[in-house]
Amino acid sequence: MVTNSSALIFWKTESLTNATVSYGLNTSLLESESNTTLDTQHRIQLDGLNIDSKYYYRVTTNGTESETYHFRTAPPDGGEFKMIIIGDNRPHSVITEQPEEYKQFVQMIAAEEPHIIIHSGDCVLDVSDNHEANLLSWEAFNNVTDGMGHYAPIYAAIGNHDTGSKTGARLLEYFFDAFEQYGEPSTYYSFDYAGVHITVLDTEELGYEGRIVGDQYDWMVNDLESSNREMKFVVAHRPMYPLTHIGDSLDSVPAERDALQQIFEDHNVSLFICGHDHLYNRMTVNGVVHIISGGGGGPLYSTPWAVGFYHYMSSNVSQSEVSLAAISLSGTTRDSYRLPYEGPIEIFLRAIANTSTHQIGTMPEIYFSARPSQKYFSWDSGGNQTDLTGIPDTNGLHTLDVYANDSEDVWSSAYFEFTAVGEVITTTTTTGTGNGMDPLLIFGSLAVAGVVVVLIVVFWHKRGK
C-alpha cells in the first residue's frame, strides 16, 4: 500500500529476526523505522511522507542489509501518475523458469519508475497438487518480478493458470503469497489511487470460469455504485470480447457479458483491462475502452483481428485524461491511444472475421465506440437497414456496409466481406443472469517462504463475508 503520504514495506526472512527500514529523499537514508519483535514476516509502516515524491529505502535484519531501492508516493487526487500493465508472462513449458521476454520487460518497467503496476494474470504455467513444484514455479516468478516489485506496488488479477483448478480445487495460497495483501486475502478487491477507482475481479471461480456471478457480482455492483470517483478502471483476467478464447471468456454467457458492459457504462468505467488472449488488442464499446494485454512472455497467439507481439502497456493517468501505449521488446510504441477520445465513431467487427467464410445466416457482431445517434447496415449495396441481419441466403461473396452518426453529426463507415456457403442456419442464444449464482470460494492459507524485500501491495475495500 502506497498512498500520497505513507508506504508499507514488507519482506520475509527464513529465521526470526528484528526489522529496520532506513529511508529518505536521497540515498543518505537519514530516517528509519524499526520493529524489535522477532519475526519472519516484517511489515514496517512509513508515515508522514511527502506527496508525489521519490523515496529511497533499505531494510536491515540482524545486521544484514538489502540493496537500496526506491518508490514514489502517490500524487494528489487528480494528479498524473504512471501506471504499467502487463500479463500472461507464464512460461511456455518449463515451469521453473520464467520467459526471457518477461525478464527483459521487468527491467524495462523498473526503468520507467512507475507509480503502480497492474498484472492481468497467468503468472505461472501451472498450479498442481505437487506442493514442492508449486513452490519452485512461484519462486521463479517472484525472483524475477521482484525486479520491479522493489520499486512499485503490483496489483494482480488471478489467471486461470494461477489457481490450481485442474486439481478440482482452488489452491490460492501461492497467489496470495506472491501478492501480499493486508488483512483477509481476496481474489477480488478494489482501491483508490490518486482519485481513480480501480476494481479487480476474479474470472476463475471454480465452476464459474468466465463469469462474474453470485457474491462477487453483488460486491462488484455495490463497489462501483459506492465510488464517487470520476474515473474508474476494472481489471480481470478473461476478456469480455475475446479474439482467441471466444466462448471461453466473459462472453461464455452473452447475456451476462452484455449486463456487465451495461453496468460499466452506467457507472462511468473508462477502462477494462484484461489478458488471457496472448496478444494485444484495443476496442471501445459505448465509451468503455477494452484493452487485452496478454503479451508479457507466454506463447503468442495470432488471429484475423490481431497479431500477437510481446509487449507491456505504459500509461499516464490523471482524473481527466489517460494516455496508453503498447511497448514492444525493442522499446518501440506499437499502438497508442488517448482518453477522452476525440474523433468519429470507431466501428469494430467481432465473432466472425472480415473476408472469412461462413454458413448463410451467420450473424456478425458489430460494436461502436459510442452509441450512434443513427446507424445503418447495408448488405450487397442494397437498401439501408436499421437492424443487422445475418449473411444473405445465397452462396458466394457478400458485402456489408456499416454507417454510424455521432452526436456531432459526423458519419463513420466500415466495409466488410464474407463468403457464404451451405444452407440457412438457426442459432440459439444462451441467456443467464448476472447475480443468480452463489459459487463457493475456497481460500488457502498463506504459505511461508524466504524471499527478498518487496514493496508491499495492500488491497482494501474488501468484500464482506
Tell me the pLDDT tens digit for each residue of 77-117.
999 999 999 999 999 987 789 999 999 999 999 999 999 99
Do 7-73 and 81-339 fold alike per CATH? Answer: no
In the sheet that holds 357-359, the strands lie side by side as: 357-359, 411-421, 396-405, 374-379
Q: What's the rounded mean pLDDT across residues 379-393?
A: 96
Please give the pLDDT value at position 172: 96
Minimal CA–CA distance to 251: which of 77, 432, 376, 390?
Answer: 432
pLDDT cut 70: percent of the chain above it: 91
pLDDT category of residue 426 using cuts at 50, 70 and 90: low
Cell of residue 317, nine digits = 493517468
Q: Does residue 449 register a pLDDT over 50? A: no
Q: What's the rounded mean pLDDT across residues 396-415?
A: 97
Q: Are 157 and 201 in contact (CB under 8 A)?
A: yes
CATH classification code of 347-421: 2.60.40.1220
Please give the pLDDT value at position 433: 42
Q: Does residue 206 register a pLDDT over 70? A: yes
pLDDT category of residue 434 using cuts at 50, 70 and 90: very low
Q: What phi, psi does 161 have (nearest 5°)?
A: -80, -10
If one compares 428 and 265, the residue with the highest pLDDT of the two is: 265
If one compares 190 and 431, the residue with the highest pLDDT of the two is: 190
pLDDT category of residue 1 using cuts at 50, 70 and 90: confident
- 81-339 has CATH 3.60.21.10 classification: yes
Give the CA angle between residues 330, 240, 233 to the nearest 5°.
70
Encode pLDDT of 280-291 as tens digits.
Answer: 999 999 999 999
Please give the pLDDT value at position 182: 66
pLDDT cut 90: percent of the chain above it: 86
Instruction: Provide CB contacts within 8 A for 59, sequence distance 6+.
Output: 9, 11, 19, 20, 21, 22, 42, 44, 65, 66, 453
Q: What phi, psi does 464 have (nearest 5°)?
A: -85, 155
The residue ranges of every structural domain in the chain are 7-73, 81-339, 347-421
Q: What phi, psi does 448 have (nearest 5°)?
A: -105, 125
SS3 state of residue 3: coil
SS3 content of the chain, % helix, strand, coil (to 5): 15, 35, 50
CATH superfamily of 7-73: Immunoglobulins (2.60.40.10)
Q: Which residues pair with 292 in a beta bridge?
A: 274, 281
Instruction: Provide CB contacts within 8 A for 434, sequence distance 6+.
Output: 212, 213, 217, 256, 259, 260, 263
Q: Does residue 442 register a pLDDT over 50? A: no
Q: Does residue 354 register a pLDDT over 60? A: yes
Please give the pLDDT value at position 135: 95
Q: Does residue 454 register a pLDDT over 50? A: no
Q: Does residue 184 register a pLDDT over 50? A: yes
Encode pLDDT of 36-81 as tens digits.
Answer: 999 999 999 999 999 999 999 999 999 999 999 999 999 999 999 9
Minimal CA–CA distance to 285: which of 316, 239, 324, 228?
Answer: 239
Lowest mean pLDDT among 216-225, 288-297, 379-388, 441-450: 441-450
Q: What's the rounded mean pLDDT across residues 191-196?
A: 95
Q: Are 74 and 458 in contact (CB under 8 A)?
A: no
Q: Are 44 and 8 in contact (CB under 8 A)?
A: yes
Cell of residue 222, nine digits = 455495490
When the pLDDT of each residue in the chain is averaged and rounded to a whole number, the result is 90
Cell of residue 248, nine digits = 471461453
